[in-house]
Amino acid sequence: MRKAVIATLLLTASCAAGRYADINTEKMNPQFTGGPGKSTLVLVATPDRIGRENLEDQFAIEGVERNISLNPSYRLIPNIKDVTRETLETLVKTNHYDRVLVVKTVPGTWKTGEHSYYQDYYSVVASGIMPSMYDYWGTTITTVYSPTDPPPSLVNFSMLSIETRLYDSADASVIWSAITDVTQSRDRVDAPKAFVRTVVERMKSKHVL
């Protein structure tokens, strides 16, 4: 089930971006007095190899765009089964990471359902552009259906909560943590980018990255 979750939610390709990731809860360590880290090791804790690699790479891409050092752990430990506290400690010391970011799904939060977000699949056109065609209906709004999207797919969505924890490698204390709700609907959603962008922006605003 977890592999299916990662594959269907976090790896969705998209043509258009939207706001499909919202931080539900977050906590900042009141005892943390340090500033932004110089180099962060990113670990997506999932047995799905492709899901882990793609999401960790997305963090690296976001880091490059923001001039933040976010380093995928899979390039150093390809098999998630080999990831232990000892191996992480060794990587941190060897590569001088001062932050470790751990990302994992929240058990029991995967769900699917229906919504009425028709704007995901319809183009809304003001009929006022050609009022003569609509007579006295010229001030109404016309929804233009796209035949490339069958009606049954219009109302499907998937949702998953993801936990993010940022650790200080100096003492393994949690600097910042959050639960982010990620929603996917077909074609419109860019789930991995939206999630990564949301949490990185928030950590940067907290001056911990």
Rounded Cα distance, 153 and 186, in Å? 7
Residues 179 and 193 in one domain: yes
Task: Give which of 45, 46, 38, 105 is closest to 67, Cα–Cα.
Answer: 38
Residues 121 and 197 in one domain: no
The token pair at 186 is 């077909």
Number of domains in the chain: 2
Q: What is the CATH number of the domain that holds 57?
A: 3.40.50.10610
Residues 44 and 122 in one domain: no
139-187, pLDDT tens digit by residue? 444 444 444 444 444 456 678 899 999 999 999 999 999 999 987 765 4
User: In this structure, are residues 188 and 9 in contact, taking their beta carbons and an 8 Å threshold?
Assistant: no
Residue 192, H or E segment = helix 191-205
Residues 99 and 14 in one domain: yes
Residues 159 and 149 in one domain: no
Residues 38 and 106 in one domain: yes
b or e along 104-121 (b: 16 or more beta carbons within 10 Å of the residue's beta carbon)? ebeeebbeeeeeeeeebb
Q: Name, of 6-10, 90-94, 119-123, the range with top average pLDDT.
A: 90-94
Residue 84 structural domain: 2-114+155-205
Residues 27 and 110 in one domain: yes
Rounded Cα distance, 132 and 149, in Å? 29
Residues 66 and 134 in one domain: no
User: In this structure, are residues 26 and 203 in contact, taking their beta carbons and an 8 Å threshold?
Assistant: no
User: In this structure, are residues 18 and 194 in contact, taking their beta carbons and an 8 Å threshold?
Assistant: yes
Residues 66 and 143 in one domain: no
- Provide the residue count of the chain: 209
Residues 73 and 138 in one domain: no
Residues 61 and 12 in one domain: yes
Residues 92 and 172 in one domain: yes
Mean pLDDT, the chain, rounded, equals 77
The reply to whether the predicted model has a pTM over 0.75 is no
